Amino acid sequence: MNMLARAAAAVLLIAGLGSSAQAADPIKIGFIGAITGYGSFLGDPEVKAAKLRVKMINAAGGINGRPVELLIHDSEGSPEKAVLAMKRLITQDKVTAVVGPDLSSTVRAVMPLVEESKVISFVMTPVIKPPSGSYVFGIYPIQEYAYEAELIWLKKKGLTKLGVLASTDTTGQEGVKFLRELAGKHGITLAVENFNLQDVDVTPQLLTLQRGGAQAIMAAMSGKPFAVVAKGMKQLNMKTPLLASTGAVTKTLGELISGIEPEVLIAPTLKVMVAEQLPDTDENKPAIMELIKSFRQEYKEESDLYTAAGWDATEMVLKAYAAAGPDATKMRDWLEKMPRYVGAVCTVTMQPTDHHGCGPEGYVLVQFKNGKFVLEK
Query: Are the beta carbons of 214 and 240 closer than 8 angstroms?
Result: yes
Is residue 40 within the footprint of another protein (CB under 8 A)? Answer: yes
- Least Cβ distance, residue 266 to another protein (angstroms): 21
Contact 110, 42 (CB under 8 A): no
Element (H, E) at 98: strand 97-99
Question: Is 211 a residue that touches another protein (CB under 8 A)?
Answer: yes
Does residue 207 interact with another protein by CB under 8 A?
Answer: yes
Of 71, 72, 84, 256, the one binding another protein (CB under 8 A) is 256
CB of 78 to another protein, least distance (A): 13
- In whole angstroms, the minimum distance from the beta carbon of 366 to another protein comes to 20
101 prior amide bond cis, ω within 30? yes
Residue type, 16: G
The answer to the question of residue 231 lying near another protein (CB under 8 A) is yes
Q: Is residue 194 a contact residue for another protein (CB under 8 A)? A: yes
Q: Return the residue of 132, 198, 329, 351 that touches another protein, per CB under 8 A.
A: 198
Neighbouring-strand partners of residue 72? 31
Bridge partners, 166 (sequence order): 194, 220
- By CB under 8 A, tell whether 41 contacts another protein: yes
Tell me whether the omega of the peptide bond preceding residue 262 falls within 30 degrees of 0, making it cis: no
Which residues in the 281-310 window bind another protein by CB under 8 A?
none
The answer to whether 235 contacts another protein (rule: CB under 8 A) is yes
**Is residue 168 packed enough to be buried (19+ CB in 10 Å), middle (13-18) or exposed (0-12)?**
middle
Please tell me the distance from the alpha carbon of residue 18 to that of residue 172, in angstroms, as a whole number. 52
Length of the chain: 377
Pairing of strands 363-369, 265-270: antiparallel
Q: Which of 58, 160, 189, 208 binds another protein (CB under 8 A)?
A: 208
For another protein, the binding residue among 9, 12, 13, 36 (CB under 8 A) is 36
CA distance 249 to 150: 14
Smallest distance from another protein to CB 238, Å: 10
Please report, as ranges, the residues that interact with another protein according to CB under 8 A: 36-38, 40-41, 44, 168, 193-196, 198, 200-205, 207-208, 210-211, 223-224, 227-228, 231, 234-237, 252, 255-260
